[in-house]
Amino acid sequence: MPPVVTPEVIWWALLPLLVLSGGGFLLLTIASLVRRLPEALPQAWTVVTGLIVLTATVPMWDRVQSDGPRSFLGGMVAVDGSTVLVTAILAIAVVATALLARPYLRREDLPGVELYVLLLMSAAGGVVMASADDLIVLFLGLEILSIAVYVMAALHLRRIESQEAALKYFVLGAFASAFLLYGMALIYGATGSTRMAHISGYLASTILVQDGMLLAGIALLLVGLAFKVAAVPFHAWTPDVYQGAPSPVVAWMAAGVKTAGFAAMLRVLVVTLGTHASDWRPAVAVLAAASMVVGAWVAVLQTDVKRMLAYSSIAHAGFILLGVQAASERGTAAVYVYLFVYTLLATGSFAVITTVGGRGDAAHGLDAYRGLARRQPVLAGAFTVLLLGQAGIPFTGGFVAKLGVLAAVVEGRTYWVAMVAMAAAAVAAFVYLRILVAMYLEAPESDTADRTEVPAGTRVVIGVACAGVLLIGLVPGLLLDIASDAVPVLVGG
Amino acid sequence: MVVTTSWYLTLAAILFSMGAVGLLTRRNPLIMIMCIELMLNAVNLTFVSLGSELGDLGGQLSVFFVLVVAASEVVVGLAVVVAIMRRRQGATVDDLSVLGG
Amino acid sequence: MAVLAAAAGVPFAVLPALLVVPAAGALLVVVLPRRRPELLKLVAVATSMVVAAMTVWLVVAFDIDRGAEMQFEFRHSWMADLGIQWLLAVDGISLFLIVLTGILFPIALLAVDPGHDDRAYFAWMLLLEAGVIGVFCAMDLMVFFLCFEVVLVPMYFLIGRWGHGNSAYAATKFFLFTMAGSALMLIGILALAFLHADATGGGLTFDLVELAEAQSLGTTTARWVFLSFALAFAVKVPLFPLHTWLPDAHTEAPTAGSVILAGVLLKLGTYGFLRFGLYLFPEASHFFAPVFLTLGLVGIIYGAVVATMQRDLKRLVAYSSVAHLGFIVLGTFALNTEGIEGGLLQMVNHGVSTAALFLLVGMIYERRHTRQIDELGGLQKSAPVLAAVFTLVMLSSIGLPGLNGFVGEFLVLVGTFNAHRWLAIVATGGVILAALYLLWAYQRVFHGPAEGANAEMPDLKLREGLVLAPLLVLIVAMGVYPKPVIERMEPSVDALVAHIETHVDGFHEPTSRFGADIEVGEGGDDAGDDH
Amino acid sequence: MSPATLAAPLVLAADPLLDGAIGPGIVGIVLIKVVMAFILLLVSVMLMVWFERKLVADMHNRIGPAEAGPFGILQTLADGIKLFFKEDLIPDRADRVVFKLAPYLSLVPAFLVFSIVPIGGDFSGDGTVTWFGETTYLQVADPPVGVLFFLALSSVAVYGVMLAGWSSGSKYPLLGSVRASAQMISYEAALGLAIATVFLTSGSLSTHEIVARQVSGSWNVLATGVVPFLVFLLAGTAELNRPPFDLVEAEQELVGGFHTEYSSLRFSLFFLAEFMNVITMSAIAVTLFLGGPAGPILTDTLGWVWPVFWFSLKVFVFLFCFVWLRATLPRLRYDQLMDLGWKVLIPVALGWFLLIATMNVADDLGWPMVPVVLVGVAVLVAGAALLTGAIQKARGDALADLVDEGVED
Amino acid sequence: MDAAVFLISAAIVLTGAGGVLVSRNPVHAALFLVQTLFGVAVLFVLQDATFLAAVQVIVYAGAVVILFLFVIMLLGVDRAEDLGVEPIVGQRPVAAIVGASLLGMLLTALLVSVDGPTGAHGANTALGDAADNTRLLGEALFTDYVFAVELTAILLTVAVIGAVVLARRVRGPLAPLPVVVVASVADDGEQGDDGPPDVVEATDASDEGEGA
């Protein structure tokens, strides 16, 4: 038998994945061995793991910038600027979620280790998605991420809403996976490979006389990805899941899952299938427009803040899709900027929601926010910053993000989408105003509503998110530079 | 009659559509998950037939991973169903109306 | 002058300072210790005073000899990727609006106490000031847009939290109207920059001067982009069909809010038309001028008619603003030196006199807790000084010769007459109507027998008088001797008109430049006591 | 290494018989093989039942069946006929279709498994026999994934048990079937891991190939280091629901288990399947670990008989052991059964599998064997320690929970 | 021969799928699912993918569907679903239209506009014959696809953790069931059982933890 040739491994490029998954495994092992685990340990462990990854991305970034993108392990994985940037975003989201999780778990009296383990694993899945150079690997990463999140959504074992949210998420998520896979299968048939580099190479060098299979594949793939990033009309799960799932998990869904999903979408659509951009761009544009309009519009009709933010996250997905549909370097960079900013906004916002939600994680109606400014001016102020950021008010990161995607759209000359986007932004602004009105302009139902103590971890998250949002709004240069250096490149496998 | 790849692809497409329709019409979460399995099987069939037409092992390799994923999904999905059903007997997805819009 | 010019050349970057100082003041207010609430107002007023001083210095240091050139230019790259830079500069068009802002803010801050949540109130006011000044200084389209938008937030909170009545509704309406209006402008700006970059082959830039001078857009495109700008400005002005937010916002806003809203914020729209509409899109402006002239005219008549029917004093003043702004739009789209200059002057004048009117209405409200004209009456007897001041301000608003309102209105009418005779004639009707409703209101509020609470109403206090004094001085001074203002404006306006002439085929400014140097009739400065 | 490339597209059997054109003679041989296997199984089941009853009786110091035929050898036949003529009852609450289907789901896999077992053939050569000028394997089919075929069928066998209990529409059968299927699934994992070790040493999934490898090398029971063999035996016994793992049929608890509601012919089908499974499991064990039909060919005339003889002998030893176990060992408790499966057999099988794999890799790469093995063992010990620790901890937690609840209530 | 096998298997696959779609009883649906899975396995064999065929049966039939049956039996949710009532008005026609259009799109794309796959032939790994199948798969899995294989390790771990966490009983009080749900549970009691009885009694029980 001929000796088996093992493929090349670039270990430093695998570091985030190894640290995250290894951290998860180790934490699980420790938890299953030690009787009385110090209560703070899992959280501290997760935060430290996240920070290690975050730190590791710095030298990785330098290395990628100096050595250029690389593909390894048989052309299955690649490391490029986008990988590192998305990894960093995911690491931030992990840290934030972990910080939110502990006070939450303690308040709800829930057992905790698994949440952290799943969080780390799910982040590992996200990293895989961001670095996948093969459709199958991409799919596996997606599944690791999703399955972990299905479980995390159900983790509030005392609330049946939590489990029902998980079930809905699961059924529709699996449905989407099937579409995604079918799309991958057809693309495989049309191009002869699942390696992204091969696919793009093949499509660049071959003119398909009959491209029906390819187009069907792209369409199905798009449906699957649209489900994952909750784009209209594949968004039906989002509000229910956001409402039912534990709030810190929702923060992760909004920040981490969305980031990974869009990273995957960019890799597949823009990078791999970029040669056929003219085929998928209109579809993505329609998805984007529909998401923005429906997300913003339906959000207006909600009375539950968590649902409002769920719909607004749909609208945000629409905005991010704008960057995708531009199918240009500027669009891609803008997507990364948006993802970074949205991560801050989402984690910060859901940190506030977690706090206000109170014991039982149920007080999410607008009523719960009435008079918040009087009870807890600082919390209300921070939420104001975050909401204004989501609305895209100038001098917040939200504006920088929206500006980026819009610029990309305008550069691509699809003005109608840009107009829809701005109309949706105006409608969405009303949503955030409603919350502001409740906080500032309405009296609380009863004066007995007591101050809820904001735990230290939550404070850190909210503080960092607000500071980050404002800082990016005022000094966006660094982030913009990084994002434009992070545009993904395919290297042959 | 020679069995061409198109036959397989057609069969898979029908199977996939049936799974999708089932998922959209049935309300029992267990049967919905089964419908997802139908869809995944259609995908598997597609992968294998395309692979054999292309003379490439990639299709079969992909199926291998799809199988793993399918198994994992089912495990988690059923665990969620169990968690719900333990508290509420005989729920259908329509009964899951706590989270109404 | 030379000394001052040299002073202007010193590296002290006054424009960024104008932005940073109020923002820093706001920050300072936020972090002031909780134990010293009295410091809040002190810091806020001091900050705004500093700003006011700087703006005045700006007028003095402004070099007339440099004509239409941008002065005090400050340039700093911001988002290099998109070519956005902090490009701040002042010319004759923006100079006095900045000054107006600088002066109105301390007055508003001093005149009115918020009553609750002082810290947030002062912080928002100062941020608002920074934003407004930013709008007037910005010579980069994107920075302009940013400031234009960001102004909404403080104003929203000011109306919503410290307003009266249905303030949440009014604030939200204000926010959404203006935000929706300006939404398309962002696309317009981006499209402009990208099309310009394509046409020139250069990088992206949002530099106003560069874009305006290059005129690289095709005619049709330029018209579309112009419309996207125009919508934003029209909402902000507000032009006739888009004005509905204004009475609500004005009525429900706190006095200081109304002062700032009427005095400064409404100018953002007209200033935008002037600076970004005419300058960037001369051809499109010319093309669409009839539309705006008509709308302006409708605004004048409509505002006046509706104002006549108001029972709420504040609402009346608000509708009078609609009419006044109609004049400004009329002047602007006359597209000749007189019209534009008149419009510009009218912006300042309206700012001064309407701010004063709102302050006075606020003072009456503070005393009587009502603004219903029916419930007031005979105040002249109980508060003669107040009545006198009110008269002066009102006359300025009507446009009595010798007071500031006249100069602007007259120039506008001249300009319009030169361009579109019939419009000018109809607009003159608006002037008459203005006299009608204001005098009628005055009569009902101040004349007649004073009954009940009206009889006991206290007169103007010294503090209030001091607050109003600068405005009164301006009303009279600008009416009597507007030269310092006009000589600083004129080169810029001339350059703008020349720019339009160059870029519009077949556009000839009517030659009969009747009254171009008319400077304003030398009205008696005793007009104030004219009662 | 692999057999000749196949012309036929349907690849169930890599048999030299199917090379080239397929004529009626070849079809005939295939048919004969199928029928032979079928009859062989039926007859041996009959004998096995008798054998078991007789042997257990002996061990219990009883007489056992003695009336029908010599030594009561026809007792099974008599029972069968009796069952055949009994009234077929279907409970009112039963799910009729599934109720009728279940016995066949049990029986068919039992038959099919036997088709991949090579029961003869001269493995000192290429493992074929030549009859009437046609060279063939002495097994019904030799698919390239033969052993997976076995695993697949044994997973299918679970359905019979499971559905029988469920469809009966009564409580005890349902509990019995849930237990049975849980048990079968649990032990299937261990079984699979034990078999995987065999793949590793044999380098093939075809049963024919595996036997051929054992003949040329050493028997797998030694080549894989005995442990997998033991695991296989234990897991196989459990898989068969044989004593001491026959909780499914625990009369005391479950009134007979999943087939309580069955009667007449359907019951006899379950019965048949059960004993058939014992035989096939023994046959598989022999094939995988004990060299199958390998053994000295003592005479040249009728040389093909000897491998069959050796094969039968080996199987017989297994059958004896099964009966022996039944007669001697008490039944396990259900939790003990599960503990054994999950906490002992699976980890052991897995650890051993990893060790063998490591050694194979070391062998391929030319690493020194001793340190590799030492390190491997150390790692396994560490893993075992971790596992033990975790089990201890979980036990402690469960105990603590119980105490807590006691306090609360 | 091939065509016959294909047609028979296709019939098995499709009737199985149809059975899943219309079965009232989840157990029957599961059995129909098994039928489809077997049909697919045969089709795999027909295309020389013997290893996958075996794995298909082992994993799907041996594990996945068994798991379904377990859940059905443990929970006693094998009550027939009333298919006569359409839960959401118009859902079925809509679903049918969606399905039909999906199918139409797929068939158009796959058959009308394409005669077969258009990709580069033999791009990555050569496809061997049935006898080589397992070995080739193994080699590819542990060389080129080794990263993916490692990922499945993470995936399976996640799944196991998830299952264990969700199946675990919670200590302490549970949040009350929302009112809506309680009502619907009460309604359920009215419906007749035509399947075997529930083993686990229907309770809203918080502490009905499954021990093992």
Contact across the interface for D178 and E131, Cβ inside 8 Å = no
Beta strands in D160-299 (DSSP E): none
CA–CA min distance B47, chain E (Å): 10
Which ipTM was obtained for this model?
Answer: 0.86
Is A269 in contact with A280 (CB distance < 8 Å)?
Answer: yes
Strands D134-137 and A70-72: unpaired
Task: Please state, as a whole number, how many other Cβ atoms lie within 10 Å of the Cβ of residue E1.
Answer: 10
What is the C-alpha to C-alpha distance for residues D404 and E108, in angstroms, rounded to an integer? 64
Q: How confident is the model at residue E176 (pLDDT cuts 50, 70, 90)?
A: low
B65 — contact with chain A (CB < 8 Å)?
yes
Determine the residue among D95, D188, D206, D405 to mutate to test chain E binding: the one whose Cβ has the most chain E Cβ atoms within 10 Å.
D95
E25 — contact with chain D (CB < 8 Å)?
yes
Buried b (16+ CB within 10 A) or exposed e, D150-172: bbbbbbbbbbbbbbbbbbbbbeb
Residue A210: left (phi > 0), alpha (psi -120 to 50), or beta?
beta
Q: Say whether A302 sits in a helix, a strand or coil.
A: coil
Q: Say whether C211 sits in a helix, a strand or coil.
A: helix
Q: Do chains A and D touch (3 or more CB pairs under 8 A)?
A: yes
Q: Nearest CA to A244 among A181, A169, A316, A317?
A: A169
Contact across the interface for A481 and C80, Cβ inside 8 Å = yes
CA angle A392, A393, A399 (to 5 degrees): 50
Contact across the interface for E166 and A216, Cβ inside 8 Å = no
Which residues does C154 contact at the CB level (< 8 Å), separation at least 6?
C124, C125, C127, C128, C131
pLDDT tens digits, residue range C305-346?
Answer: 888 888 888 888 888 888 888 888 888 888 888 888 888 888
pLDDT tens digits, residue range E108-148?
Answer: 777 776 666 777 665 566 776 767 788 888 888 888 889 99
Q: Which two tokens stand for residue A106?
A: 């303690």
Q: How confident is the model at residue E210 (pLDDT cuts 50, 70, 90)?
A: very low
What is the C-alpha to C-alpha distance for residues B27 and A117, in angstroms, rounded to an integer? 32
For residue A71, what is the enclosing H or E element? strand A70-72
Residue in E with minimal Cα distance to A21: E154
E142 — contact with chain D (CB < 8 Å)?
no
The residue among D409 and C19 whose pLDDT is bigger is C19
Q: Say whether E204 sits in a helix, a strand or coil.
A: coil
Contact across the interface for D148 and E197, Cβ inside 8 Å = no
E41 — contact with chain B (CB < 8 Å)?
no
Q: Say whether A79 sits in a helix, a strand or coil.
A: strand
Q: What are the helix (H) ranges across D60-206? A: 75-85, 96-114, 146-167, 171-202
Long-range pairs, C516-520, Cβ under 8 A, ≥24:
C516/C337, C516/C338, C518/C414, C519/C482, C519/C483, C519/C486, C520/C406, C520/C407, C520/C410, C520/C479, C520/C482
Contact across the interface for A159 and E177, Cβ inside 8 Å = no
A168 — contact with chain B (CB < 8 Å)?
yes
Contact across the interface for A34 and D390, Cβ inside 8 Å = no
pLDDT tens, chain A, 493 aa long: 556 677 888 888 899 999 999 999 999 999 888 887 888 899 999 999 999 999 999 999 999 888 888 888 888 898 988 999 999 999 999 999 999 998 888 888 887 788 999 999 999 999 999 999 999 999 999 999 999 999 999 888 888 888 888 998 999 899 999 999 999 999 998 888 888 988 888 888 888 777 888 888 999 999 999 988 888 888 888 888 888 888 899 999 989 899 999 999 998 998 888 888 888 999 999 999 999 999 998 988 888 888 899 999 999 999 999 999 988 888 999 999 999 999 999 999 999 988 888 777 778 888 888 888 888 888 888 999 999 999 888 888 999 999 999 999 988 888 899 989 988 888 888 888 888 888 887 777 665 556 677 888 899 999 999 999 999 988 888 888 888 888 887 765 4
Residue in A with minimal Cα distance to B83: A163
Q: Please check whether residue B42 lies inside any domain of the structure.
A: yes
Instruction: Collect all residues of chain B within an 8 Å Cβ-Cβ radius of residue A219.
Output: none
The residue among A406 and D29 whose pLDDT is bigger is A406
C81 — contact with chain A (CB < 8 Å)?
yes
Instruction: Collect all residues of chain E within an 8 Å Cβ-Cβ radius of residue A111.
Output: 168, 170
Instruction: Collect all residues of chain A within an 8 Å Cβ-Cβ radius of residue D364.
Output: 3-4
Q: Nearest CA to C164 among C99, C112, C235, C103?
A: C112
For residue C222, what is the enclosing H or E element? helix C219-236
In chain A, domain spans? 11-485
Percent helix / strand / coil, chain C, rounded to 5: 75, 5, 20
Nearest CB among E45, E66, E199 relative to D174 is that of E199
CA–CA min distance E83, chain A (Å): 20
Is E12 in contact with E49 (CB distance < 8 Å)?
Answer: no
D196 — contact with chain E (CB < 8 Å)?
no
Determine the pLDDT at residue A450: 65
Q: How confident is the model at residue C390 (pLDDT cuts 50, 70, 90)?
A: confident
The partner residues of C90 in beta bridges, in order of sequence, read C71
Determine the residue among B10, B56, B62 to mutate to test chain E binding: the one whose Cβ has the most chain E Cβ atoms within 10 Å.
B56
Instruction: Collect all residues of chain A within an 8 Å Cβ-Cβ radius of residue E161.
Output: 28, 114, 117-118, 121, 151
What is the C-alpha to C-alpha distance for residues C145 and A415, in angstroms, rounded to an integer? 19
Q: Do chains A and E touch (3 or more CB pairs under 8 A)?
A: yes
Contact across the interface for E146 and A7, Cβ inside 8 Å = yes
Is A331 in contact with A235 (CB distance < 8 Å)?
Answer: no
Is C373 in contact with C444 (CB distance < 8 Å)?
Answer: yes
Contact across the interface for E123 and B54, Cβ inside 8 Å = yes
Determine the pLDDT at residue C508: 59
Chain B partners (3+ C-beta pairs within 8 A):
A, E
What is the C-alpha to C-alpha distance for residues A236 and A242, in angstroms, rounded to an integer? 11
Q: What are phi and psi of C426, to 5 degrees?
A: -65, -40
Instruction: Collect all residues of chain A within an 8 Å Cβ-Cβ radius of residue E170.
Output: 110-111, 157-158
Task: Report the predicted TM-score, pTM, of the whole model to 2 decimal places.
Answer: 0.89
How does DSSP classify residue A154?
T
The partner residues of D122 in beta bridges, in order of sequence, read D128
Task: Please state, as a whole number, how many other Cβ atoms lie within 10 Å of the Cβ of residue A468.
Answer: 21
Determine the residue among B35, B38, B81 to mutate to test chain E binding: the one whose Cβ has the most chain E Cβ atoms within 10 Å.
B38
Which residues does E93 contact at the CB level (< 8 Å), separation at least 6?
none
Cβ-Cβ pairs closer than 8 A, A with C, add up to 88
CA–CA min distance A109, chain E (Å): 8
pLDDT tens digits, residue range C200-239?
Answer: 887 888 888 888 888 888 888 888 889 989 888 888 888 8
CA–CA min distance E195, chain A (Å): 25
Q: What is the CATH number of the domain that holds B13?
A: 1.10.287.3510
Nearest CB among B20, B51, B72 relative to E156 is that of B72
Determine the residue among B10, B41, B69 to mutate to test chain A binding: the one whose Cβ has the most chain A Cβ atoms within 10 Å.
B69
Determine the pLDDT at residue D2: 35
Q: What is the largest CA-CA distance in chain C?
A: 74
Beta strands in A215-301 (DSSP E): none
Contact across the interface for C142 and A403, Cβ inside 8 Å = yes
Contact across the interface for A175 and B36, Cβ inside 8 Å = yes
Q: Fold for domain E1-82+169-202?
A: Four Helix Bundle (Hemerythrin (Met), subunit A) (1.20.120)
Q: What domain range includes position B85?
A: 5-89
Instruction: Collect all residues of chain A within an 8 Å Cβ-Cβ radius of residue D203.
Output: 1
For residue A372, what is the enclosing H or E element? helix A372-375
Total structural domains within chain B: 1
Residue in D with minimal Cα distance to A4: D364
